[in-house]
Amino acid sequence: MVLLGGIFGFLGVLGLSGIPATEMAPGYGGRFGEDRFGIVVRCDEAEAARVESMMKESGAEEVVREGVQ
């Protein structure tokens, strides 16, 4: 009985903490992993061109602009 309580308590903690994640975060790309990383920048449309140029000047391999959700 104690063992079942421990198991269900552990499963309850996992379920309430969101582990494992069932939804991917907005902006997540599956290609980011061992040797790459990505940055998500949320800004107004008026600032998007300036942020994009700053990223390219800093040596970004790829800059992708996504629409507002």
User: What's the pLDDT at 3?
Assistant: 94
- The 10s digit of each residue's pLDDT in 42-52 is 888 889 889 99
Cα separations (Å) of 27 from 40, 47, 64? Answer: 6, 18, 10
Q: Is the pTM of this model over 0.75?
A: no
Cα gap 60→45, rounded to integer Å: 20
Checking if the pLDDT of 68 tops 70, the result is: no
Reported as a single tens digit per residue, the pLDDT across 1-44 is 899 999 999 999 988 887 776 677 666 677 777 787 888 888 88
